[in-house]
Each structure stands twice: as C-alpha cells, then as structure tokens.
Amino acid sequence: EPEVTQTPSHQVTQMGQEVILRCVPISNHLYFYWYRQILGQKVEFLVSFYNNEISEKSEIFDDQFSVERPDGSNFTLKIRSTKLEDSAMYFCASNQDGFNEQFFGPGTRLTVL
Amino acid sequence: SQQGEEDPQALSIQEGENATMNCSYKTSINNLQWYRQNSGRGLVHLILIRSNEREKHSGRLRVTLDTSKKSSSLLITASRAADTASYFCATVRYGNNRLAFGKGNQVVVIP
C-alpha cells in the first residue's frame, strides 16, 4: 500500500541553523501539506501546496519557513534560522483532491538546542 | 477561531467496553474527520463525515455529526487493547483544504 515517507526521523540542530525536512508524498496525489505538533499540544497546520505553489498558509508559516517541490517526488520544508520554539514533530501529508482524507507520514522530530 | 475542539478527556476503559469521545467546532464545515495517533507516531485517518451526513459507520467505529450544535461524536465499540491511542477530530472548511485539529482524547484500553 502506498504511503507517505519522511526523512530524517529525528533531526537535532543548533539554534540559528537551517534545516530541511524531506517528504515523499503518495505518487498520484496532488495536494501536499505540512503540519507540526509541539509536544503535548494539538496538531497545527503550517502550509498547503498545489500545482507548484502555496495554496494556503497559517500565521505560523512566516518568512523563516519555505516549501519546495524540487522534483517529481520530493516535497521539502525549510526552516532558515531555527529557534528553540521550532522544536516539534513535523508531519507531511498528501491527498488527491484537497478536501478528503489526508495521508500522513510518520513525522520528523526536530529538536533545536 | 479554533476548529475541532474535543472535550479534554482521558478515557480509561476495560477491553470489550465502548469508548465515546466528543468534538465541537465553531464555524461551517465541509467535512469532519477523525484520526488516531499512537504514541509518538503519525496520524491515521479513521473516518470522514460530510456536513450533509448525520451518522456514519466503519467497522467498530460510529461517527455522528450535528451541524446545528456544531458537534460530533466518535464511538468505538467492543474496544481492544490495540485501540489505545490518542484520537483527534479535524474539520475542513469550505473553500480551503487545511485540517483544523482539536486537542485530542487519550484512550487507554486495559486488557
């Protein structure tokens, strides 16, 4: 069964460093998403991406964040200069039609020291 | 505004019992979805109910939706130890495709 994959599973970085989180969505899906979950809190939407551009972003998704689909399979989230409060689990998701069920990856745990 | 806000419950039940959890939201929705998250893992979609539906079943899951009260419930019948997880409701509004999650209900099923 096709699934969303994410790498790395755990990333540790120093404050101020850039990180890139990678995702491979399900191959015939057209909509891609990033969410984050700070430990003990609810899952928060960051950004959605369709047709090679951002279709929606939340107030969390400021200028420090960017997304890219560099080729036909990968979908990346870049944080330019990490802050302590960026420590969270980051989930990638995808779906075919934009409003039905989303398929989530296993997440990348980002720890900023 | 916050969407998909569950009653902040932590349920602890015996295997075989039913588990019910509730969710309320504040604005008009296209659909409401329930997801399960095992500890430290990704989210797994369980069931989706559209705004024009009132009840839906999938295996041991039963979801209801009351759009007049802006609330939903998830019932898991004949619970198993493997049902131990956190359960989140999430709403999708018309015109966008983001999932707005609630805080989640932790369910522990004791064998």
> What mean pLDDT, rounded, does chain B reach?
90
* Rounded distance between C-alpha atoms, residue B50 and residue B40, angstroms: 29
A52 touches chain B (CB under 8 A): no
- CB nearest to A43's CB, from B31, B43, B96: B43
Q: What pLDDT score does B87 carry?
A: 94
Q: Does residue B2 have a pLDDT over 50?
A: no
CB–CB of B92 and A99 under 8 A? yes
Q: What pLDDT score does B82 carry?
A: 95
Half-sphere exposure of A50 (CA within 13 A, CB side): 16
> What mean pLDDT, rounded, does chain A reach?
95
Q: What pLDDT score does A52 carry?
A: 92
* Alpha carbon distances (Å) from A33 to A50, A99, B35, B62, B67: 9, 12, 16, 27, 27
* Rounded distance between C-alpha atoms, residue B64 and residue A74, angstroms: 37
Set out the domains of chain A in order of their start, with CATH numbers. 5-112 (2.60.40.10)
Q: What pLDDT score does B96 carry?
A: 84
| Length, in residues, of chain A | 113
B74 touches chain A (CB under 8 A): no
Q: Does residue B7 have a pLDDT over 80?
A: no
Q: Does residue B8 have a pLDDT over 80?
A: no
Least confident of A15-24, A71-80, B54-63: A71-80
Dig out the tokens for A37 from the structure: 């979950």
- What is the CATH code for B5-110? 2.60.40.10
B39 touches chain A (CB under 8 A): no
Dig out the tokens for B55 from the structure: 């009840």
Least confident of A3-12, A94-103, B65-74: A94-103
A107 to chain B, closest Cα gap in Å: 6
Instruction: Give the residue from chain B lying closest to A89, CA to CA.
Output: B40
